[in-house]
């Protein structure tokens, strides 16, 4: 499995460093040593990595992902995880559809290139990544960030 296109690690010092292919964060950014903490950290700092998530979803129980989503169902990272789990596995999580909340893009557009203004997936209130449903065009935008 290839590493993420931009690896993010926690440094020992309180100095942030960043290049096109890696980022070192301060100790205060250390995620919780839980599946939820690690996945939220990865989605927040490294973006959507479909290959890694597809492999992970083969190894993790659906109930574990559903529990993460149920803890913060309206949170952006939980909603992205929820959509990606169902989209990549073809299995529906035992989580109730969201009510009236603002739709969000499937990728963080500050981290990755992606489509915006796509049709809304009503279940997770995610902007569908494509009008065709079977392809997620998303690439890194790290080189363009200052």
Residue 2 belongs to a domain: no
What pLDDT score does 45 carry?
A: 83
What pLDDT score does 131 carry?
A: 47
Residue 21 belongs to domain spanning: 7-144
Residue 56 belongs to a domain: yes
Alpha carbons within 13 angstroms on the beta-carbon side of residue 76 total 15
Provide the 10 A C-beta neighbour count for residue 12. 8
Question: How many angstroms separate the CA atoms of 20 and 118, rounded?
Answer: 28
Residue 135 belongs to a domain: yes
What pLDDT score does 77 carry?
A: 93
Convert the pLDDT of each residue in 56-103 to its tens digit: 999 999 999 999 999 999 999 999 999 999 999 999 999 999 888 999
Query: How far, CA to CA in Å, does 8 sit from each of 24, 26, 28, 96, 132?
Result: 6, 11, 14, 32, 32
Convert the pLDDT of each residue in 33-63 to its tens digit: 999 999 999 888 888 888 889 999 999 999 9
- String of DSSP letters for 11-41: -SSS--EE-SSEEEE-GGGPPPSSHHHHHHH
Residues counted in the chain: 146
Residue 34 belongs to a domain: yes
pLDDT score of 142 more than 50: no
The pLDDT of 109-136, averaged and rounded, is 69
What global pTM score does this model have?
0.79
Residue 51 belongs to a domain: yes
Answer whether 144's CB lies under 8 Å from 109's CB.
Answer: no
Residue 1 belongs to a domain: no
Number of independent structural domains in the chain: 1
């Amino acid at each position: 499995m290839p590493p993420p296109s931009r690896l993010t690690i926690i440094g020992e010092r309180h100095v942030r460093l960043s290049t096109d292919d890696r980022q070192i964060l301060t100790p205060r950014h250390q995620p919780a040593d839980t599946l939820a903490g690690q996945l939220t950290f990865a989605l927040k700092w490294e973006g959507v990595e479909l290959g890694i998530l597809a492999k992970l979803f083969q190894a993790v129980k659906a109930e574990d992902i559903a529990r993460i989503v149920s803890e913060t169902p309206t949170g952006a990272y939980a909603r992205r995880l929820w959509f990606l789990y169902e989209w990549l596995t073809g299995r529906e999580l035992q989580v109730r559809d969201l009510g009236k909340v603002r739709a969000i893009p499937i990728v963080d557009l500050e981290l990755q290139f992606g489509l915006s203004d796509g049709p809304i997936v009503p279940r997770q209130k995610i902007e569908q990544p494509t009008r065709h449903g079977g392809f997620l065009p998303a690439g890194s935008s790290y080189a363009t960030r200052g």
